[in-house]
Amino acid sequence: MDLMNRVFREFLDTFVIVFIDDILIYSKTEAEHEEHLRMVLQTLRDNKLYAKFSKCEFWLKQVSFLGHVVSKAGVSVDPAR
């Protein structure tokens, strides 16, 4: 957990949230998101860390994360919990 926080320190609370080995990238626009995604993937590569493609999800409009639903509308409690 500490490793991931150190690796992504400059991006935390700007466009990245890390929880253990889960990385959530959030952006206001698609263009911004593309740049953020490139930065995160490059940071992983630079630190010789890898994301398993089968566990990755890209370009989602909303995501369940740590018992919450995160979307353009904001953050709410996940009703499935």
Quick one: which H or E segment has residue 70?
A: strand 68-71
pLDDT class for 8, splitting at 50, 70, 90? very high
Is 90 exceeded by the pLDDT of residue 15?
yes
Q: What is the domain extent for residue 18? A: 2-77
Q: What is the mean pLDDT of residues 7-29?
A: 93
Is 70 exceeded by the pLDDT of residue 55?
yes
Distance CA 39, CA 16 (A): 10
Count of structural domains within the chain:
1
Highest mean pLDDT among 6-10, 26-30, 76-80: 6-10
- CATH number, domain containing residue 40: 3.30.70.270
Q: What does pTM read for this prediction?
A: 0.82
